[in-house]
Amino acid sequence: MRAKKSVPGQIGWWALYFAFPVLVVLLWEYICHFGSVKIYNMPAPEIILKDAFEKIQDGILLKHISVSFLRVLEGFLIAAVAALILGVLIGLNKYFERFTELVLQILKPIPPIAWIPLAILWFGIGESSKLYIIFYGAFFPILLNTVDGIHNVDKRYLELARVYEVDKWRLTWKMILPGALPSILTGIRVGLGNAWVCVVAAEMIAATKGVGYMLSNGRSMSRADDVILAMLLIGIVGKIMDDILKVISKRIMKWS
């Protein structure tokens, strides 16, 4: 049986976790002060921290993050529902899989960013075009993992269910979906990560609010501190969302 870490051991484990980021920040600070880096090209961490505090006090930072997060949540939920329904239909019916296979295989390699010009032409520069890009980015990881998860369910369970003449609905709900759950949850995590990347890309092209707009606006205004702050926000928020999904996935797997 695996022993629990003691408190000093936990402190050391967390110290190791944060050691590399701290070293990166210290090296960055040193290069900015004693190296040949120009301050307007690569501002020191203290300048970026000051910029972040100013934007927090003004409420601008929270507004940009909340706008992007709500866009991601809306587009991701639509994509998750659509991908799960279609994935279950494809995974359970080989004829329907054959019917949709060619179109899905052609669409799958097209990156979401490539759809931005068409999305703007179709939906304009409002919310609909951004939701479409988010939807597209999240859709395929969830769909493909759902189909793969259903295909990889242990065939022995399915044969046993047939022997006991379990009806198809009960078989799907009680055996196939729980068996495919790990793969489905992986697809949801990847899909959410893609959705966050897509909203940033969409906001850089056509938006007046959001983290992507903040990044694009910083570039156009030659504000390297705004650009780096936006990049850090993208990474930090993306990690937080993935960590939350990871905890939820573990709880669901324990429950199932």
User: Which residues does the chain have with pLDDT short of 70?
Assistant: 1-9, 35, 40, 157-168, 206, 255-256
Q: Residue 192's pLDDT is what? A: 92
The pTM is what?
0.83
Where do the structural domains in the chain lie, given as residue ranges? Answer: 1-37, 43-255
pLDDT digits (tens, 9 = 90+) for 133-178: 999 999 999 999 999 988 888 777 666 666 666 666 777 777 778 8
Look-up of token digits 């990871």: 246
Q: Residue 83's pLDDT is what? A: 95
Q: Which residues are CB-neighbours of 152 under 8 A, at least 6 positions away?
A: 179, 180, 183
Q: Which CATH superfamily is domain 43-255 in?
A: MetI-like (1.10.3720.10)
Taking the CA atoms of 183, 185, 188 and 194 in sequence, report the sign of the dihedral they define. Answer: negative
Residue by residue, what is the 3-state secondary structure of 165-201?
A: CCCHHHHHHHHHHHHHHHHHHHHHHHHHHHHHHHHHH
Q: Using CB atoms within 10 A of its CB, is residue 92 exposed (0-12), middle (13-18) or buried (19+)?
A: middle
Cα-to-chain-centroid distance, residue 199: 10
pLDDT digits (tens, 9 = 90+) for 73-84: 999 999 999 999
Q: Residue 225's pLDDT is what? A: 86
Q: Residue 1's pLDDT is what? A: 47
Q: Residue 76's pLDDT is what? A: 93
